[in-house]
């Protein structure tokens, strides 16, 4: 390793291996640029600031909300969603019931049937006890002005779909 490089030509001077390195530039031929300042330099004459207006409340500009289904709100002649406003005229509304109602026998009925079966045969009537539990969601979709938005409303009971369909039919009548 202490031997000189046999492939080094005598006329290259102080050249080592790698891309050309010129004086005053960093490696790989990129020109040396001064680092950006750590602060924003002040422009002469200042920067024009756009006028600040007080935000107009939504209710004052378009009236009171006519309908709210989840995060969809109908105000005046537009539908307000998190995706942005949509025109109310010509909107297509859809609902899909993704809820289910299960009927099961509560554990209290089983315990009471066992306890009262020992004392009298009327304990078997406790096995007729049932409880209904509704789980799931109702999906509402609205399409208008080239936009589409969907929201989910939790089903709290078997009659939730009837309430949602009533609200949806009202929204459809407003869209005509």
Percentage of residues of the chain with pLDDT beyond 70: 65
Residue pointed to by tokens 């509704």 = 134
pLDDT band at 113 (very low <50, low <70, confident <90, very high): confident
Return the SS3 of 33: coil
User: Per the structure block, which two tokens stand in for 72?
Assistant: 């969809």
Task: Give the start-end residues of each E strand in the chain.
Answer: 65-69, 72-75, 78-81, 84-87, 92-104, 131-144, 147-154
Tell me the average pLDDT across 146-173. 92
Query: What gap in Å lies between CA 141 and CA 127, rounded to an integer?
Result: 42
pLDDT band at 96 (very low <50, low <70, confident <90, very high): very high
Which residues, other chains included, contact 29 with Cβ-Cβ below 8 Å and sequence gap of 6+? Answer: 19, 20, 22
> Using alpha carbons only, what angle is made at residue 85 by residues 82 and 88, rounded to the nearest 5 degrees?
125
pLDDT in tens, 40-95: 666 565 556 555 555 545 444 557 888 999 899 999 889 999 988 999 999 999 99
pLDDT at 59: 44
- Between these two residues, 32 and 57, which has the higher pLDDT value? 32
Q: Are 116 and 158 in contact (CB under 8 A)?
A: no
């Amino acid at each position: 390793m202490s031997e000189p490089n046999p492939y080094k030509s005598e006329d290259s001077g102080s050249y080592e291996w790698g891309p050309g390195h010129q004086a005053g530039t960093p490696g790989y031929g990129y020109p040396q640029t001064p680092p950006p300042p750590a602060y924003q330099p002040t422009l002469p004459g200042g920067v024009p600031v756009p006028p600040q207006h007080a935000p107009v409340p939504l209710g004052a500009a378009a009236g009171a909300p006519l309908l709210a289904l989840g995060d969809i709100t109908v105000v005046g002649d537009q539908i307000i969603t998190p995706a942005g406003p949509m025109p109310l005229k010509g909107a297509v509304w859809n609902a899909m019931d993704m809820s289910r109602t299960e009927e099961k026998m509560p554990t209290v009925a089983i315990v009471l049937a066992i306890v009262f079966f020992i004392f009298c045969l009327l304990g078997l009537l406790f096995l007729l006890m049932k409880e209904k539990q509704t789980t799931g969601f109702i999906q509402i979709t609205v399409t208008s002005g080239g936009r589409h938005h969907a929201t989910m409303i939790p089903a709290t009971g078997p009659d939730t779909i009837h309430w949602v369909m009533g609200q949806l039919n009202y929204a459809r009548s407003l869209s005509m």
